[in-house]
Amino acid sequence: MSARAPKNKHILITGGTGLIGRLITDELLNRGYRVSHLSRKSGNNPKVTTYLWDVYKGYIDEHCLEGVGTILHLAGENIASGRWTGKRKKEIIDSRTKSIGLLYQLIKSKPKQVNTIISASATGYYSDRGDELLTEESSPNNDFMAQCCIEWENAVDEGRKLGLRVIKFRTGVVLSKHDGALPQMAKPIKSGFGMPLGSGKQWIPWIHWHDVVDMYLYAIEKINLSGVYNMVAPDPVTNKQLTKALARQLHRPVWPIKVPSIVFKLLMGEMSTIVLGSTRVSAQKIEKDGFVFKYPELNGALKDIYG
């Protein structure tokens, strides 16, 4: 078997109805893969078989693993949706850890089918680290985002005990004009109120959505790939640089003032670290393993997205 030959061509995706899940599904189908989803409700894509599960009730359709060699684990509550109350924090973590745990319980009862787990994680593992260049070997932070990622990754790593190939992608800010952070950043700029947030010096670990899809496909097809990788572009930028680049692309001005940090702290509380935290992340490891970015630098990425 070659290093780029997948074990089989049936992929099961959790979180398949989210932005990245939809994009990956379309690309897999284009490449001749069979795709199934695990979801809380029936899907509407006639090319995709949807199996139902309820993570909190411990229910999963046992037929979902039939013929599946690889699982993409993308499921998880939106970390930026709602203030981080104690209840909300538990939901965010449980949606990631209990879901993969439920899958592993089923895999144990059906050995010799699934061989690979490819899971999302997040650069929140490192969280707010100033100007420090962060690699996969860097230690985690100790705030909620880091705690969430640690528990998430530990739950995914249980697959190693089952003899599975496990890959984890610590994903940065995915740039797409249809969903996620970019449309929210673009709104004030389009209205003529573009300005950096907080100090503007905080590093943003961004990545073009197309490179996200390609990296997942790369992991599926390169069977000797395993372990943890940063899913970020090799050209990290600051919030101020991103704001200016986005304004240029949208042909709008940037004001020579900044939105004070206190505004976000008052409005968002602990969750303000999502906006104000500085996370400068290296892409060197995945590049060294042979992955080639289509959009390695920000201006080219934004031009493609808005062009």
CATH number at residue 118: 3.40.50.720
pLDDT at 8: 66
pTM to 2 decimals? Answer: 0.93
Q: Indicate whether 138 belongs to any domain.
A: yes
Distance CA 151, CA 242 (A): 31
Q: What is the DSSP letter of 197?
A: B
Q: What is the pLDDT of residue 6?
A: 53
**Residue 238 within a domain:** no
**Count of the separate structural domains present in the chain:** 1
Q: Indicate whether 153 belongs to any domain.
A: yes
Distance CA 38, CA 46 (A): 15
Domain that includes residue 142, residue range = 10-175+206-233+280-296
Tell whether 241 is covered by a domain.
no
Q: Is residue 304 part of a domain?
A: no
Is 228 contained in some domain? yes
Q: Assess if residue 119 is contained within a domain.
A: yes
One digit per residue, the tens of pLDDT, for the chain of length 307 reads 334 445 568 999 999 988 999 999 999 999 999 999 999 988 778 999 999 999 999 999 999 999 999 999 999 998 887 788 999 999 999 999 999 999 999 999 876 789 999 999 999 999 999 999 999 999 999 999 999 999 999 999 999 999 999 999 999 999 999 888 888 889 888 988 888 888 899 999 999 999 999 999 999 999 999 999 999 999 999 999 999 999 999 999 888 888 867 876 766 677 667 777 899 999 999 999 999 999 999 999 999 999 8
Residue 2 is predicted with a pLDDT of 38
